[in-house]
Structure 1
Amino acid sequence: MRILPIIGFLIIFGSCKEETKELTAQQIVDKTIDNAGGDKYKSAAIQFSFRDIKYSSRRNNGDFEFTRTIVDSLGETRDVLTNNSFERYANGTKLSLADSTVNKYSNSVNSVHYFVQLPYGLNDPAVNKKLVGESKINGKDYYEIQVTFSENGGGTDHEDVYMYWIAKEDFTVDYLAYKFYTGKGGIRFRKAVNPRIINGLRFVDYENYKIEPWKSVEMQTLGELFEANELTFLSEINTEDISVKPIKPKKD
Structure 2
Amino acid sequence: MKYLVIITLSFLLLNCKSDASETVTAQSLIDKAIQVSGGDLMDSTTIHFDFRDKHYMAFRNKGVFHLERQFKALIFEEVDSINEVKDVLNNKGFMRFVDNSPMNVTDTMAAKYAASVNSVHYFSVLPYGLNDAAVNKKRLADMMIKDHEYFTIQVTFNQDGGGEDFEDVFIYWINKASYKVDYLAYSYNESDGLGLRFREVYNERYIKGIRFVDYNNYKPNDASISLIKLPELFNNNQLKLLSKIELEEVTVN
TM-score, length of structure 1 as denominator length: 0.88
CA RMSD of aligned residues (A): 1.9
Q: Which residue of 2 aligns with 1:229?
A: 237
AA aligned opposite 1:225: L
- 1:124-173: CA deviation from partner (whole Å, max 9, x where unpaired): 11111100110011111001111111101111211111111111111111
SS in 1 for 2:142: strand
AA aligned opposite 1:205: D
Higher relative contact order, structure no. (Cα contacts within 8 Å, ≥ 6 residues apart): 1
Is contact 1:144-1:220 (8 Å) kept?
Answer: no
Is contact 2:69-2:88 (8 Å) kept?
Answer: yes
Q: Tell me which of 212, 216, 228 is aligned to 2:221.
A: 212
Please give the alpha-carbon distance, in whole angstroms, between the structure 2 residues aligned to 1:13 and 1:223: 28
Q: How many residues align?
A: 233
Query: Post-superposition shift, 1:205?
Result: 0.2
Q: Tell me which of 140, 149, 157 is aligned to 1:149.
A: 157
- 1:51-89: CA deviation from partner (whole Å, max 9, x where unpaired): 120000000121000000012461210011001211100
Unpaired runs of 5+ in structure 2? 1-12, 74-80
Query: Post-superposition shift, 1:236?
Result: 1.0
Q: Does 1:60 align with 2:61?
A: yes
Q: Tell me which of 108, 122, 136 is aligned to 1:100.
A: 108
Please give the alpha-carbon distance, in whole angstroms, between the structure 2 residues aligned to 1:224 and 1:13: 28
- 1:173-202: CA deviation from partner (whole Å, max 9, x where unpaired): 100011111323310100000000001100
Q: Does 1:202 align with 2:202?
A: no
AA aligned opposite 2:130: L
Query: Post-superposition shift, 1:17?
Result: 8.1
Q: 1:15 to 1:231 in 2, by over 3 A?
A: closer
Q: Which residue of 1 aligns with 2:47?
A: 46
AA aligned opposite 1:202: R
Is contact 1:206-1:238 (8 Å) kept?
Answer: yes
Please give the alpha-carbon distance, in whole angstroms, between the structure 1 residues aligned to 2:100 and 2:112: 21
Is contact 1:33-1:119 (8 Å) kept?
Answer: yes
Name the % identity: 44
Unpaired runs of 5+ in structure 1? 1-11, 246-252
Please give the alpha-carbon distance, in whole angstroms, between the structure 1 residues aligned to 2:26 and 2:120: 24
Is contact 1:157-1:182 (8 Å) kept?
Answer: no
Query: Post-superposition shift, 1:212?
Result: 2.2
Please give the alpha-carbon distance, in whole angstroms, between the structure 2 residues aligned to 1:16 and 1:181: 40
Please give the alpha-carbon distance, in whole angstroms, between the structure 2 residues aligned to 1:25 and 1:112: 24
AA aligned opposite 2:47: I
Is contact 1:58-1:64 (8 Å) kept?
Answer: yes
Q: 1:159 to 1:15 in 2, by over 3 A?
A: closer
Query: Post-superposition shift, 1:204?
Result: 0.3
Q: Does 1:177 align with 2:185?
A: yes
Q: Which residue of 1 aligns with 2:148?
A: 140
Is contact 2:220-2:230 (8 Å) kept?
Answer: no
Is contact 1:161-1:178 (8 Å) kept?
Answer: yes
Q: Which residue of 1 aligns with 2:4?
A: none
Q: Which residue of 1 aligns with 2:201?
A: 192
Please give the alpha-carbon distance, in whole angstroms, between the structure 2 residues aligned to 1:169 and 1:94: 49
Please give the alpha-carbon distance, in whole angstroms, between the structure 1 residues aligned to 2:18 and 2:197: 38
Q: 1:228 to 1:244 in 2, by over 3 A?
A: same
AA aligned opposite 1:60: N
Query: Post-superposition shift, 1:223?
Result: 0.9
Is contact 2:195-2:223 (8 Å) kept?
Answer: yes
